Structure 1
Amino acid sequence: MASAASPLSEPRVLAHAKRRLFPADADDGYAVVDTQFSSDRWLANESIDPAITDELAPFNHVRVGSGYPDLVGVRLLSDELLAVDRLGDDPPLVVVEAKGHTNRRDADVERGIVQAYDRLHEANAAYVAVPADTVSQSARTLARELNVGVLGVAPDGTVDPVETPRVVGNRTTTETTAIRFQAGAQGVAGKSFGLNHPKNYLAYPLAVSHERDTERVLAEHVVRATDDARTGAAFLNLIDDQPASPRLTPLGREVVRFALREYGSVEAAIATFDDWKRSRERFCDLAPKWGMLTRRVVYDYPATQLLVEELQHMHEDGISEPSLPDVVAYLHELHPSFTVELFVRGDDDVRSRVLNADGELQREPLTDGEVYHSPTVFQLKAVLYHAGILTSRGAEPSNLDPASDVWALRESV
């Protein structure tokens, strides 16, 4: 990537820091790197090794405080990276500013510390990542005074905490919520929907409550893809998917209460699912009461209300049948980070096409179905259709024609 004169340039420093804070083999957490690092060049005369770009992906342009940190992520960090115990059980929102050597000067550590400090208004922990040999005593003193962690990066990629920050409370914005959304169980970046009919997910709490084996009951009455049903039920917050045995969430218990009220028993309720196998009819028309329950469940999903409200606003603006690119462009103006995380795949080549180095949305790539997250444009859209919220089903990205894919409310007000 960079020339031999600058072995620890900013992209490389950031890649090492990301690997330390958000290791690839971790099964928790999510982080994005600012779009300025998606370019194949750094400064005027330095190229970025494609392997470094791959490590830095996915990219997004997330505003935190008064600027755009080099990295924003959410993860429970090890104790050695923090000065005191965490606040509560929620993983902290972490920001990182990176500084590296250039051909003209050493890393500006103190400037990085001040930039990281500015992000603490909306972050729980802030770090500056810099070459280890550039950290002076005065920089360490400044970092301690401002509650900014310092990560010293060695030429071999080793990253050691030189100063550790305290976790602080913050205020949440739509932009930082986008990263928390992706880091949680309901983010579309990881496991989410594998099936496109909501009945398969609504049935799972019933199967959990059934006296017989959960998977067997589900396969017998509802769907054989029980793993996908379980994952989707967790995605919709119907179950807390524990390694040993899933537990019902309050929303999942409400599904069971509905079944008991309507059918008298879990057995009688889940037996009705036999009648709906292979049906192509909209669920809210086929089984209106279950359709209303589906609507309630899907409204609990973090992205639904935002989508519905903005589609309503588009209708009021005279855009009654917006295409998928229309929706993404419209949403990006109002909720840029959330829109990218919800709709656009995290691959570095995809994000680099959809967002330029300044984080500006590029409209032309949005006509390619392959740039979209399948859980959003296929499965989530199908669930919203069956709940009676949208007018049309979704489609797999490989079969998707974004320009003709309409996202319109079934009832606009």
Structure 2
Amino acid sequence: MSSGTQSLTEPAVLAHAKRRLFPDDDEPAYAVADTQFAQTNWVADAAIAPAVTETLAPFNHVRVGSGYPDLVGVRSLDSGLLAVERFGDTPPLVAVEAKGHTEAAGVDVERGIVQAYDRLHEANAAYVAAPAGAISQSERTLARELNVGVLGVDVDGSVATLERPRVVGNRAVGEATAIRFQASAQGVAEQSFGLNHPKNYLAYPVALAHDGDTEALLAEHVVAATDSARGGASFLGLVESDGPRETLTPLGREVVRFARREHGDLDAALRQFEDWQRSRKRFYDLAPRWGLVARRVVFDYPATQLLVEELQCLHEDGFPEPSLPQLVRYLHELHPSFTVELFLRGDESVRERALTGDGELREEPLSDGAVYHSPTVFQLKALCYHAGILTERGAEPSRLDPGEDVWALCEPV
């Protein structure tokens, strides 16, 4: 086998396909490769190049249809990749099966097509990616009949769209919803919650509705980290952006209405926020009426709802104060993809260490605070504490003792 052929192993083919489907640009998107690609070696002890691993990260084991695609993600795709240019306002869920050269056998493109077709039970578009020279005309015909896209990958990394699929209207209702969530404006990204107090986010729609300069008002009365306040308000669904224009959502407008009703006008509301700047007291106790608003806003966040419902179930099962590793293990049994996205950092070293090739959790890494996702275990947990939902604050991963980190509801039913 030539060196060029050797370079087109399955991981390399998948990495090239990912670069084509999910380029590194400003388009809202999120994609994960299957955990089997997080291992150091592929077939015949051939090492997976670090650059390939870096391209494919993060990793998760996401069920779509009856199996686990090599790559699953959400992104608006250009017309060169789809048989139709538009899919409403919702970016499609895309599943990819990759096939590459091995030492012992050829490239089983037909099997990849059949696997990709199965993913259309939940995905909106499915592709098979393979070395271009290994794709026959009959396989292209089969893919076309099954509405599977075909990506031909060359040794130099270029990717040609040999067959363009039509977008189908399936909506993921299983584990793939975790990927839709991460690709949305509310996904738990590294920059999602830069601050750990809900008042900083509640104040943002108040300042935006004021006639004055939003950033100047925030800096004067609330918090200097105005970008973090804006980002958190967006993740909590209080504001949304349409290009350079920023507007209040219905939930954000309700916060403004409450501020006016509670304080008379927005100036008085912002002065009240200024009085709270240096308080260490739980917000729900410091300002009970605003605490109820915070509770409503924080609970409306999809990740909070999942956590509260499962903590209630744990309470009913006799575990009223689970530790962080206990919670993660329990959640992973029920919602494996969501649990990985919510709690485990996205870089390849953490996912490789914490997950087996089949997507199962390894026990030992869960005792290390460094494997956890700060926006969840620190900021989101702190928001839930201040909103009166959880009994304890969050902690930064560098200071986190997972075994002593309790996740318990203040008011289990």
TM tier relative to shorter chain: over 0.9
8 Å contact 2:63–2:174 — kept in the other structure?
no
* Structure 1 residues 26 and 227: CA distance shift in structure 2, 3 A: closer
Supply the distance in 2 between the matched residues of 1:407 and 1:3 (Cα, whole angstroms). Answer: 52
Supply the distance in 1 between the matched residues of 2:31 and 2:310 (Cα, whole angstroms). Answer: 26
Supply the distance in 2 between the matched residues of 1:401 and 1:314 (Cα, whole angstroms). Answer: 21
Supply the distance in 2 between the matched residues of 1:26 and 1:267 (Cα, whole angstroms). Answer: 36
Residues 312-345 of structure 1, C-alpha deviations (whole Å, 9 max, x = no match): 1111111111111111000000000000000100
8 Å contact 1:186–1:236 — kept in the other structure?
yes
Q: Once the 2 structures are TM-superposed, how far is the Cα of residue 85 of structure 1 from its aligned partner? A: 2.9
Supply the distance in 2 between the matched residues of 1:26 and 1:153 (Cα, whole angstroms). Answer: 24
Which residue of structure 1 lines up, in the alignment, with residue 278 of structure 2? 278
Q: Once the 2 structures are TM-superposed, how far is the Cα of residue 25 of structure 1 from its aligned partner? A: 3.7
| Range moving further from structure 2, 10-19 or 97-106 | 97-106
| Range moving further from structure 2, 200-209 or 257-266 | 257-266
- 1:43-82, aligned counterparts within 5 Å? 43-82=43-82
* Structure 1 residues 129 and 26: CA distance shift in structure 2, 3 A: farther
* Structure 1 residues 29 and 190: CA distance shift in structure 2, 3 A: farther
1:115 aligned to 2:115? yes
Residues 87-113 of structure 1, C-alpha deviations (whole Å, 9 max, x = no match): 211110000000011112221111100
Which residue of structure 1 lines up, in the alignment, with residue 209 of structure 2? 209
Supply the distance in 1 between the matched residues of 2:247 and 2:362 (Cα, whole angstroms). Answer: 43
8 Å contact 1:189–1:346 — kept in the other structure?
no
Q: Once the 2 structures are TM-superposed, how far is the Cα of residue 27 of structure 1 from its aligned partner? A: 4.3
2:218 maps to amino acid: L
8 Å contact 2:97–2:129 — kept in the other structure?
yes
Supply the distance in 2 between the matched residues of 1:401 and 1:147 (Cα, whole angstroms). Answer: 49
Supply the distance in 2 between the matched residues of 1:187 and 1:5 (Cα, whole angstroms). Answer: 38
Supply the distance in 2 between the matched residues of 1:394 and 1:368 (Cα, whole angstroms). Answer: 15
8 Å contact 1:174–1:338 — kept in the other structure?
no
- Report the 3-state secondary structure (helix = DSSP H, G, I; strand = E; otherwise coil) of the residue aligned with 1:80: coil
Which residue of structure 2 lines up, in the alignment, with residue 153 of structure 1? 153
Supply the distance in 2 between the matched residues of 1:5 and 1:53 (Cα, whole angstroms). Answer: 19
- In the superposition, the TM-score normalised over structure 1's length comes to 0.97
Unaligned runs of 5+ in 1: none
2:105 maps to amino acid: R
Supply the distance in 2 between the matched residues of 1:171 and 1:22 (Cα, whole angstroms). Answer: 20
Q: Once the 2 structures are TM-superposed, how far is the Cα of residue 277 of structure 1 from its aligned partner? A: 1.1
8 Å contact 2:44–2:103 — kept in the other structure?
no
- Report the 3-state secondary structure (helix = DSSP H, G, I; strand = E; otherwise coil) of the residue aligned with 1:308: helix
8 Å contact 2:389–2:409 — kept in the other structure?
yes
2:392 maps to amino acid: S
Supply the distance in 2 between the matched residues of 1:189 and 1:253 (Cα, whole angstroms). Answer: 25
Q: Once the 2 structures are TM-superposed, how far is the Cα of residue 26 of structure 1 from its aligned partner? A: 4.1
Supply the distance in 2 between the matched residues of 1:333 and 1:394 (Cα, whole angstroms). Answer: 23
- 1:19-168, aligned counterparts within 5 Å? 19-168=19-168
Supply the distance in 1 between the matched residues of 2:378 and 2:75 (Cα, whole angstroms). Answer: 28
1:362 aligned to 2:362? yes
1:121 maps to amino acid: H
Which residue of structure 2 lines up, in the alignment, with residue 350 of structure 1? 350
RMSD after superposition: 1.3
2:391 maps to amino acid: T
Would you identify which runs of 4 or more consecutive aligned residues in structure 1 move more than 4 Å? 2-5
Which residue of structure 1 lines up, in the alignment, with residue 333 of structure 2? 333
Which residue of structure 2 lines up, in the alignment, with residue 185 of structure 1? 185
| Range moving further from structure 2, 346-355 or 97-106 | 97-106
Q: Once the 2 structures are TM-superposed, how far is the Cα of residue 270 of structure 1 from its aligned partner? A: 1.7
Residues 368-392 of structure 1, C-alpha deviations (whole Å, 9 max, x = no match): 1111111101100000000000000
Supply the distance in 2 between the matched residues of 1:327 and 1:282 (Cα, whole angstroms). Answer: 24
8 Å contact 2:153–2:159 — kept in the other structure?
yes
Q: Once the 2 structures are TM-superposed, how far is the Cα of residue 68 of structure 1 from its aligned partner? A: 0.2
Supply the distance in 1 between the matched residues of 2:244 and 2:41 (Cα, whole angstroms). Answer: 47
2:64 maps to amino acid: V
8 Å contact 1:71–1:95 — kept in the other structure?
yes
Which residue of structure 1 lines up, in the alignment, with residue 251 of structure 2? 251
Q: Once the 2 structures are TM-superposed, how far is the Cα of residue 181 of structure 1 from its aligned partner? A: 0.9
Supply the distance in 1 between the matched residues of 2:184 and 2:84 (Cα, whole angstroms). Answer: 23
1:222 maps to amino acid: V
1:276 maps to amino acid: W
8 Å contact 2:124–2:171 — kept in the other structure?
no
Q: How many residues align?
A: 412
Supply the distance in 1 between the matched residues of 2:271 and 2:208 (Cα, whole angstroms). Answer: 14
Supply the distance in 1 between the matched residues of 2:29 and 2:44 (Cα, whole angstroms). Answer: 34
Which residue of structure 2 lines up, in the alignment, with residue 320 of structure 1? 320
Supply the distance in 1 between the matched residues of 2:146 and 2:192 (Cα, whole angstroms). Answer: 39
| Range moving further from structure 2, 20-29 or 142-151 | 20-29
Residues 18-70 of structure 1, C-alpha deviations (whole Å, 9 max, x = no match): 11111234442010000111111112332211221111111100000000000
- Report the 3-state secondary structure (helix = DSSP H, G, I; strand = E; otherwise coil) of the residue aligned with 1:41: coil
8 Å contact 2:75–2:91 — kept in the other structure?
yes
Q: Once the 2 structures are TM-superposed, how far is the Cα of residue 86 of structure 1 from its aligned partner? A: 2.4
Unaligned runs of 5+ in 2: none
Which residue of structure 2 lines up, in the alignment, with residue 412 of structure 1? 412
2:185 maps to amino acid: A
Which residue of structure 2 lines up, in the alignment, with residue 172 of structure 1? 172
Q: Once the 2 structures are TM-superposed, how far is the Cα of residue 190 of structure 1 from its aligned partner? A: 4.2
Supply the distance in 1 between the matched residues of 2:34 and 2:3 (Cα, whole angstroms). Answer: 22
- Report the 3-state secondary structure (helix = DSSP H, G, I; strand = E; otherwise coil) of the residue aligned with 2:44: coil
| Range moving further from structure 2, 260-269 or 75-84 | 260-269
1:292 maps to amino acid: L
8 Å contact 1:82–1:166 — kept in the other structure?
yes
1:39 maps to amino acid: Q
Which residue of structure 2 lines up, in the alignment, with residue 403 of structure 1? 403
| Range moving further from structure 2, 38-47 or 245-254 | 38-47
Supply the distance in 2 between the matched residues of 1:33 and 1:400 (Cα, whole angstroms). Answer: 28
